[in-house]
């Protein structure tokens, strides 16, 4: 299977992982024609996440693939360092989906005796990936169905999620918006771990609609819709953890101007 198909089928997923895999794939396509052809296919594979689009822009400006790969790594380390400061001792963190940026922050805070509640993240259940990764890192984790966030919210100290794009709203995995609204109703802060690579200045933007059979098998007469992401108004977000430090939503809006 090609990298493009792996990204489409979500064998490779997560905005940063997609960017890394794409850069490695493009390394094999040095010629301008072949490079442009592959770049177009990669961008079309998951159209909502912006990181890859921004990275392509950097490549066009003459940046080098190896440097960009290195930069993604150091950026994640910096986000982890800034983000762990928001996590108090014995904190219970609720997270959604599987975000490498979020997990870097959580792992950095491990010694504070934290616990994590991970949502399953239907329909693709990326919460399982998060749970497995946390167990490996020696962090206690409880996996819950998405509809249980209200049940567990009273126990939670903070909600921490990733981002696919930072626009006039936060674009992240479907289910982020109801999670953030629930957290606000219970007075719990919601933080986003996302590098400035996620700043999205694209004019054209669309939420990816994924295959209906990811939700369930056909039911005669029933229309099934499967949007991959939703849009959370910034008023529900306390701050964004970037490689440059902790930024308020209004700072993010300023960066987008
Ligand atoms: P990192 C994922 O999208 C999730 O929505 C996650 O929050 C986001 O990418 C960011 O991931 P998908 O590819 O860049 O699973 O923090 O649809 O790894």
pLDDT, residue 1, reads 58
pLDDT at 34: 85
Residue-wise DSSP of 118-178 = EE--TTTTTHHHHHHHHHHTT--EEEE-GGGHHHHGGG-SEEEE--SEESSEEEEETTHHH
Q: Which amino acid residue places its CA nearest to atom 5 of ligand 1?
A: 173
In this prediction, residue 215 carries a pLDDT of: 98
Mutation test residue for ligand 1: of 11, 14, 75, the one with most atoms within 8 Å of CB: 14
The whole model's pTM is what?
Answer: 0.96
pLDDT of residue 165: 98
CA 94 – ligand 1 centroid, Å:
16
- Assess whether the C-beta atom of 86 lies below 6 angstroms from ligand 1: no
* CB of 100 shorter than 6 A to ligand 1: yes
83 lines ligand 1 (CB under 6 A): no
What tens-digit pLDDT sequence spans the chain (257 residues)?
589 999 999 999 999 999 999 999 998 887 778 888 999 999 999 999 999 999 999 998 999 999 999 999 999 999 999 999 999 999 999 999 999 999 999 999 999 999 999 999 999 999 999 999 999 999 999 999 999 999 999 999 999 999 999 999 999 999 999 999 999 999 999 999 999 999 999 999 999 999 999 999 999 999 999 999 999 999 999 999 999 999 999 999 999 99
Q: Ligand 1, residues 19, 49, 232: which to mutate, most atoms within 8 A of Cβ?
A: 49
Tokens of 112: 């504070």
Ligand 1 centroid–CA 169 distance in Å is 16
What distances in angstroms separate CA 173 from CA 5, 63, 106, 124, one per listed residue?
A: 20, 29, 18, 11
What's residue 250's pLDDT?
A: 98
Ligand 1 pocket, 22 CB below 6 A? no
Question: Does residue 164 carry a catalytic annotation?
Answer: yes
Beta-carbon count within 10 A of 30 CB: 8
Q: What is the pLDDT of residue 103?
A: 98
Mark whether 97 is an active-site residue: yes
Q: Is the CB of 127 under 6 A from ligand 1?
A: no
Cα separation, 178 vs 132, whole angstroms: 24
Expressed in angstroms and rounded, the spacing between residue 217 Cα and the centre of ligand 1 is 25
Q: How far is the CA of 88 from the centre of ligand 1 (A)?
A: 25
């Amino acid at each position: 299977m090609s990298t493009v198909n792996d990204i489409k089928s979500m064998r490779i997923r997560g905005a940063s992982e997609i960017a890394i895999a794409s850069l490695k794939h493009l390394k094999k396509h040095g010629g301008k024609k072949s490079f442009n052809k592959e770049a177009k296919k990669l961008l079309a594979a998951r159209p909502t996440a912006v990181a890859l689009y921004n990275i392509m822009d950097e490549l066009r400006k003459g940046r080098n693939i190896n440097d960009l790969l290195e930069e993604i790594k150091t950026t994640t380390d910096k986000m982890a360092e800034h983000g762990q400061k928001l996590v108090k001792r014995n904190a219970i963190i609720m997270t959604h989906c599987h975000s490498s940026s979020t997990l870097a922050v959580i792992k950095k805070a491990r010694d504070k005796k934290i616990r994590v509640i991970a949502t399953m993240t239907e329909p693709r259940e990326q919460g399982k990936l998060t749970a497995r990764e946390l167990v490996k890192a020696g962090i206690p984790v409880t996996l819950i169905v998405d509809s249980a966030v209200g049940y567990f919210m009273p126990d939670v100290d903070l909600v921490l999620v990733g981002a696919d794009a930072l626009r006039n709203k936060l674009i992240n995995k479907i289910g982020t918006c109801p999670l953030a609204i629930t957290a606000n109703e219970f007075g719990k802060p919601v933080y986003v771990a996302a590098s400035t690579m996620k700043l999205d200045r694209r004019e054209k933007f669309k939420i990816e609609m994924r295959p209906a059979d990811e939700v369930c098998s056909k039911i005669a007469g029933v229309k099934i819709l499967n949007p991959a992401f939703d849009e959370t108004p910034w008023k529900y977000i306390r701050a964004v953890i970037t490689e440059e430090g902790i930024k308020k939503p209004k700072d993010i809006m300023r960066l987008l101007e």
